[in-house]
Amino acid sequence: MRLVFILLASLIIVPGNWPANAEQTTAADAQTRIALVIGNANYQDADTPLKDPVGDARALGSALERAGFDVDVAEDLTKDAMRRTLDRFYDKVKPGAMTLIFFSGYGIQSNRQNYLIPTDAHIWTESDVRRDGMSIAAILSELGNRQPSAAIAVLEAARRNPFERRYRLTSAGLAAITAAPGTLIAHAAAPNALLDDTNRGLFVGELIKQIGKADSPVQDVFNRTSLAVSQASQGGQIPWVSSALDEQISFGEKSTTAPATSQSKMAAVEPAKPEEQQTTEPSRPQASEQSVSSQNTPSNSPANPQVANTTAPSAASDAGNKSGAVLARIDPDQGRVSSTAINPTDDAAIKALDAKLVQNPNDANAFYRRGQLYAKNGVFTRAADDFDAAIRLNPKDPEAFNNRCWVRAMVADLKTALSDCDEALRLRPGFADALDSRGLVHLKLSMSQSAITDYDAALKVKPNQASSLYGRGIGKLRIGKAAEGNADIAAAKAIDSGIADEFASYGIR
């Protein structure tokens, strides 16, 4: 039932407050570079120290110093020490500075927010994560108040840890984070995935190698790192990147920051509160950003996808919209969706992606992201067209297939939606979001037992996913298991009070 979104309120949105004009960002300021590199290895509640974080932090710190950064390398920080270290880092950051934060150690997500875990954390319940952990959203929000020209956050923290098994079946990895304008967020592993010990040191080693290539745009550095790690691990580890940086920013000594414009920087969605925010909204699909590997166009992909920025299907074909959202109209003069029908922030992001696709019509990730924005605003046929293009460019992207499955379900193209969900699960067995989406399709097809089977499988991966609990509850009610169904529905409502309204918007009660 849940579409994988980059720019929705159900995703972690990192607030930003970056300079927007040349007066705020001078060439001299752009060359000021500040980095904080943290390696936490000796955790009090762990049986043995982690082997990589300290060595990775030292190696990366040296590489950043060679690239002209003022680097503070910190090791094995308690929460108090981490707070003091961060305060010193914030104090160094002046408007226009280029900043980078790296953390290697244990990280945990709670309510779709990510927390960096200090070495003295004692976590027995999920609420302890928010008590003892350091919110990455709060860190970047505080950093944004200093108005850097660029903020880069690199997280090597999605490890199996000694804490989550006390209250979850398994470690959940880190949640996706959407970069605000002027930021880049990089995870060493894909959202909700864990680092594999067999690939120890691979991510940081490759990142150091790419940083050494002077004058490469920062986003290219991380994209090449992701591709190299994915290839070296044979797909076992796929780093993930969300970027809204200006492309001219680089690690080279001659780096400068160009003024931000509506086309060069992606607009942020309404900011989330940095602490403990449960960001799921009624009628909004669940978030999980695709890995950067979807940006890498296969050699056999078409030079010009058949989805052009200047052609759009009639809004009348979106009549299957069950969400109650206002459908966008097509502007006949410009051939694009009228901005008057789309959230203004989303429309700005769509325009930025339009411009990006004019420059590079083979950018699968741009099609993917624009499709998510159209889907968010109820323009399902445009969303489906963009996911079509993303899939043509990268036919092995399970997130794109899952998204298209969900969108097609919204317009009652159920048989085709089912095939998309099947393909997503073939590409990524056990993909909880695709299982959840297929469960919705099966409910809409009145295949209650199949829906229950899908939701059962999704809940084995994400035990607290409200949509899967509610969908399974509906399925059980339909086959006469009233007590079990009502129990699932009650559990889902306890997690997400708006879940019943969301299902009702899909025509399922």
In the chain, the domains with their CATH numbers are 12-243 (3.40.50.1460), 297-395 (1.25.40.10), 418-509 (1.25.40.10)
Question: Of residues 272 and 440, which shows the higher confidence score?
Answer: 440
pLDDT digits (tens, 9 = 90+) for 263-283: 222 222 233 333 333 333 323
Helices (H), ranges, 74-125: 79-92
State percent of the chain over pLDDT 90. Answer: 46
For the record, the structure tokens of 468 come out as 């899967």
Inter-residue contact 85 to 72 (CB < 8 Å): yes
Q: What is the pLDDT of residues 342-395, one digit of tens each?
A: 778 788 889 989 999 999 999 998 899 899 888 888 888 899 999 999 999 999
Asked which of 130-144, 150-164, 326-340, 456-470 is least confident by mean pLDDT, the reply is: 326-340
Which range is least confidently modeled, 17-31, 159-173, 373-387? 17-31
What pLDDT, in 10s, does the model give residues 27-74?
433 458 999 999 999 999 888 999 999 999 999 999 999 999 999 999
Give the pLDDT score at 427: 92
Nearest CA-CA partner of 272 in 13, 17, 16: 13
- Which pLDDT band, with edges at 50, 70 and 90, does 191 fall under? confident
Predicted local confidence at residue 12, as pLDDT:
43
User: For residues 175 and 191, is the Cβ–Cβ distance under 8 A?
Assistant: yes
Q: Which of 164-168, 185-189, 322-326, 328-332 is predicted most confidently?
A: 185-189
What per-residue confidence (pLDDT) applies to 105? 96
Q: How far is CA 268 from the centre of its chain?
A: 13
pTM for the predicted model, two decimal places: 0.50
- Residue 411 has a pLDDT of 85
E strand or H helix at 101: strand 98-104
Q: For residues 176 and 195, what is the distance between their CA atoms, to the nearest angstrom?
A: 15
Q: Which residue in the block uniquely carries the two structure tokens 């003024």?
A: 259
Q: What is the mean pLDDT of the chain?
A: 77
**The pLDDT of residue 341:** 62
